[in-house]
Amino acid sequence: MNYTYKELQNGSDIRGVALEGVDGEEINLTQQAVKDLAMAFSQWLQQKTGKEQVKIAIGRDSRLSGPALEQAVIDGLLLTGDTILECGLSTTPAMFMATQFPQSNCDGAIMLTASHLPWNRNGMKFFTKEGGLESKDILSLIQLADTLKESGKPFGSLSKFDLMDLYAIHLQNLIKEQVQADDYEHPLKNLHIIVDAGNGTGGFFATKVLGTLGANISGSQFLEPDAHFPNHIPNPENKEAMESICQAVKDHQADLGLIFDTDVDRSSAVDENGDPIARNSIIALAALIAAKKNPHTTIVTDSATSDELHDFLEQKGMRHHRFKRGYKNVINEAIRLNQEGIDTQLAIETSGHAAFKENFFLDDGAYLAALIVSYALKNPLSKTLNDLKEPLESEEVRIKITNNDFKEYGENVIHEIHKKAEHAPYISFADSTFEGVRLNFDPEHGDGWLLVRMSLHDPILPCNLESKKEGGVETMKTWLKEALYDKTDLDLSVLEA
């Protein structure tokens, strides 16, 4: 197997360094690698569909490396005899929809993006009509890419396709159906909405969706794609990004704010008071929207959600089901629950990845934003989330593992934390933990909880802590540092007060 290509696998995606310019980061996502992986996807898709030639859409986000890598994909697919739709600047969810819209009706799609990662990175996401590829599928592509031989002269076909206009109309129609306003063409004429696209590809939502439907979008910011991301990281989890959109809503006295990541598979919001709706609160809002038609549905979230969110969902009549971190993990768990006969309408991570059953369980930030806009037209968001309590303190620390075999070492560390917690009478274990170890501390020793787990791909132990009292997080961090004092292959400096 080609080690370089295996190194590019990031769960169910391909990601790597595509440009020089950052010390210590050498290019490994080369044009040849992208070409080989595109050809491998074509061969894999031909085998899956039983077709000799397939139809594939290709799109990219705003990164500097995008055009060259897009051309590499096209060059590879032409050699396989495929019909190629070149979509240019696109969003990740729109690329999946290229397999669903009758106007495009593709067998598969490739999106070139590295989400919110720095400007020198890029990656590949692959879709079929059934959804995004799984990790095992990516491994199959890597194995195929290592053995492929180019066939010679190109014999496929290439045409440009305006996917984003088609996708914008799709979102317009969604809002119209949700709102059912008297003015069908301009149902948002009474709303002032500020959009922050972070110079990614989400600016279309302001101009081609909200503005077209009559909304006032003045004050919207960073709508133009800019591969250097000069204003802030395009990431709803980024503190500076959220502060920026919150301030814009306050300055312009808007009714609502919306913020997207680079490729628009994630989003978060800001209420009419300029307060952020993110992490626990974006889950709560999305769950309320899902429960409008299915009041007792199950909501699948990642493992790091608050006890306060759990109580909120249960009090609203829903069932809260925590699962592993990773958007594909929560989506697949929601699909599994439905197959078992448990109604599950939403899979969502605190990062802003939200996938609704009614929307193919596609994590689509623009789809979530469209539902939020429709909801906000009749429901002030600040009042909607009044009952959602927040912990007094919360923090995430990321402990680096320096051991070469970091996965086994990290799992052993988690096992030892579990053993030490068993001997602490003031600590109890969570009712259900799908990854790592989640500990509950009594009121005298932190009054909160601690979750320690392995990162999905990196040599890191992410630790989430939340407390109901001042100083509780530091108390629990101190316990954790003492529990790990003899672990020489951990960087415990992040646990310092």
pLDDT in tens, 228-272: 999 999 999 999 999 999 999 999 999 999 999 999 999 999 999
CA distance 237 to 5: 29
CA distance 77 to 37: 10
CA distance 285 to 362: 18
User: In the chain, what are the helix, strand and coil shares in percent, each to the nearest 5?
Assistant: 35, 20, 40
DSSP label of 230 = -
> pLDDT tens digits for the chain (497 residues)?
445 699 999 989 999 999 999 999 999 999 999 999 999 999 999 999 999 999 999 999 999 999 999 999 999 999 999 999 999 999 999 999 999 999 999 999 999 999 988 899 999 999 999 999 999 999 999 999 988 877 677 789 999 999 999 999 999 999 999 999 889 899 999 999 999 999 999 999 999 999 999 999 999 999 999 999 999 999 999 999 999 999 999 999 999 999 999 999 999 999 999 999 999 999 999 999 999 999 999 999 999 999 999 999 999 999 999 999 889 999 999 999 999 999 999 999 999 999 999 999 999 999 999 999 999 999 999 999 999 999 999 999 999 999 999 999 999 999 999 999 999 999 999 877 679 999 999 999 999 999 999 998 789 999 999 999 999 999 999 999 999 999 999 999 999 86
Numbers of helices and strands, H then E, in the chain: 15, 23
Average per-residue pLDDT for the chain: 95
Contact 453, 413 (CB under 8 A): no
CA distance 89 to 165: 11
Going along 431-476, which residue ranges are E strands? Answer: 437-441, 448-452, 460-467
Helix residue spans in 211-273 (DSSP H): 239-252
Q: Is 374 a catalytic residue?
A: no
Domains of the chain: 3-161 (3.40.120.10), 167-384 (3.40.120.10), 393-495 (3.30.310.50)
- Residue 322 half-sphere exposure, CB side, CA atoms within 13 Å? 20
Vertex 48, ends 43 and 51: CA angle to 5°?
70
Question: Which candidate, 357, 250, 232, 234, places its Cα nearest to that of 293?
Answer: 357
| Catalytic residue selected from 42, 62, 65, 115 | 115
Dihedral class, residue 107 (left if φ above 0, else alpha if ψ from -120 to 50, else beta): alpha
pLDDT at residue 431, rounded to an integer: 77
Q: What is the DSSP string of 51-63?
A: -SS-EEEEEE-S-
pTM: 0.94
pLDDT at residue 1, rounded to an integer: 45
Tens-digit pLDDT profile for residues 390-406:
999 999 999 999 999 99
Instruction: Return all residues near 130 (Cβ < 8 A) that are at least 6 apart.
Output: none
Question: Which candidate, 223, 203, 258, places its Cα nearest to that of 369?
Answer: 258
